[in-house]
Amino acid sequence: MLDLGFGKIESYVKLEKLGEGTYATVYKGTSSLLSGYIALKEIRLEQEEGAPCTALREVSLLKGLKHNNIVSLYDIIFDKTTLTLVFEYVEKDLKQYMDDCGNLLHMKNVCLFLFQLLRGLEYCHARKILHRDLKPQNLLINERGELKLADFGLARIKSFPTKTYSNEVVTLWYRPPDVLLGSTEYSTPIDIWAVGCIFYEMACGRPLFAGAKVEEELHLIFKYLGTPTERTLPGVTSNIDFQALRLPFYYGEPLSRVISRLDQNGIDLLEKFLRYNPNSRISARDAMTHKFFSCYPPEIHTLGPLQSILDLDEISLTKDHGSKLISSSLMKTTISKRSSVHL
């Protein structure tokens, strides 16, 4: 960033608006400093207090994260009213990709995207960083099929011993039951539950737990996975929020009955993601060596952080039915599908 031209807004040209949120507006742009397109995320600093806080958090975290499966931050520009973050431009997010495929991804691509999600997440978790807002809209997919974690506005560095955080994190559909029940002490397993929900959504074509509010979300989770007990979620029976639910006792049903597109290894991995006890959920590192990924060559585990798994000859994006990249003319209409401005 000390290179001539970096840190100056005049080094960039806006081409079109991609989306707008409460605190930020994202533009597609170009720069004489960088090849290809870039994304400009303009954050309004004159808004209420939360905006600068989340913006600076995202900046501080992304500056230290250099990985092929994490969106790259190229430049930071300050002025009196805005903070502009310059990111690599990525064609679409996972939600848009699934929509374009009629919500029916090829299983090879489910495997491809899931492994890359775990790879980027393991890199974060090894550095004690929790994303806390994993969802399809925050996972970007480029033309090559590379998946990149984005929108680190809610991310936190996990300190030890356990630190108390807010339980108002993670979009409702991807929020684990312990957090839904009020837990503010959590670690990396908060992201792993979200990975399980995204895994199911990619394989099945629909969200697993699509509740409109907390009570409905818990109801759906209990209905599918069974009502938690002291064995599966220690301390749950004395939890005030749990006691107030007054839901019927559910025994749950095997996930193999809920989704037929996953083989035995896929079901086993999904169950390990979606365990009630956060301490029992599989880690991102262990998940990457699960038998579900046995189709990949051993070399995939020795790649450097900046290398892509798609650099391996055996791995490539499979053409999905109806899949096509978003052209510039379609970008403005499809961007409305995103629930928030990311990048």
Which whole number is the average pLDDT over 118-140?
A: 94
Distance CA(163)–CA(249), nearest Å, equals 32
Domain-embedded: residue 4:
no
pLDDT of 21 > 90? The answer is no
Residue of 173, 155, 151, 157 lying closest to 24 (CA atoms):
151
Are residues 104 and 231 located together in one domain of the fold? yes
Q: What is the pTM of this model?
A: 0.86
Q: Dump pLDDT digits (tens) for 155-202.
A: 666 544 344 444 444 579 999 999 999 988 889 999 999 999 999 999
Residue 7: its pLDDT value, please? 80
Answer for the pair 278, 176: CB distance below 8 angstroms, yes or no: yes
**133 classed as catalytic:** yes
Confidence of residue 330 (pLDDT cuts 50, 70, 90): very low
Q: How many domains does the chain have?
A: 2
Are residues 146 and 190 located together in one domain of the fold? yes
Are residues 82 and 110 located together in one domain of the fold? no
Domain-embedded: residue 26:
yes
Are residues 297 and 185 located together in one domain of the fold? yes
Are residues 123 and 63 located together in one domain of the fold? no
Query: Which among 89, 115, 141 is the end of a domain?
Result: 89
Residue 160: its pLDDT value, please? 42
Are residues 167 and 210 located together in one domain of the fold? yes
Where residue 74 sits, what CATH number does that domain have?
3.30.200.20
Distance CA(192)–CA(284), nearest Å, equals 7
Domain-embedded: residue 320:
no
Distance CA(66)–CA(113), nearest Å, equals 19
Binding residues for ATP: 41
pLDDT of 140 > 90? The answer is yes
Confidence of residue 293 (pLDDT cuts 50, 70, 90): very high
Instruction: Tell me the helix, strand and coil percentages in the chain, rounded to 5.
Output: 40, 15, 45
Are residues 155 and 63 located together in one domain of the fold? no
Domain-embedded: residue 113:
yes
Are residues 71 and 111 located together in one domain of the fold? no
Distance CA(12)–CA(26), nearest Å, equals 13
Which whole number is the average pLDDT over 54-73?
A: 83
Where residue 189 sits, what CATH number does that domain have?
1.10.510.10
Which whole number is the average pLDDT over 294-299?
A: 97
Q: Of the residues 75, 93, 100, 133, which is catalytic?
A: 133
Domain-embedded: residue 108:
yes
pLDDT of 329 > 90? The answer is no
pLDDT of 325 > 50? The answer is no
Domain-embedded: residue 334:
no
Confidence of residue 228 (pLDDT cuts 50, 70, 90): very high
Strands (E), 32-184: 38-44, 73-78, 82-88, 92-93, 129-130, 139-141, 147-149, 156-157
Residue identified by tokens 């081409």 is 15
Range ranked top by mean pLDDT from 70-74, 110-114, 208-212: 110-114
Query: Which among 67, 89, 111 is the end of a domain?
Result: 89
Cβ atoms within 10 Å, residue 159:
8
Q: Dump pLDDT digits (tens) for 194-205.
A: 999 999 999 999
Domain-embedded: residue 158:
yes
Are residues 83 and 100 located together in one domain of the fold? no
Are residues 103 and 225 located together in one domain of the fold? yes
Residue of 153, 168, 147 lying closest to 24 (CA atoms):
153
Domain-embedded: residue 2:
no
Range of the domain at 62: 9-89
Reported as type and span, the H/E element at residue 15 is strand 12-20
pLDDT of 340 > 50? The answer is no
Are residues 72 and 117 located together in one domain of the fold? no
Distance CA(311)–CA(293), nearest Å, equals 17
Distance CA(198)–CA(273), nearest Å, equals 10
Q: Is 106 exposed, middle or buried (0-12, 13-18, 19+ CB in 10 A)?
A: middle
Are residues 136 and 263 located together in one domain of the fold? yes
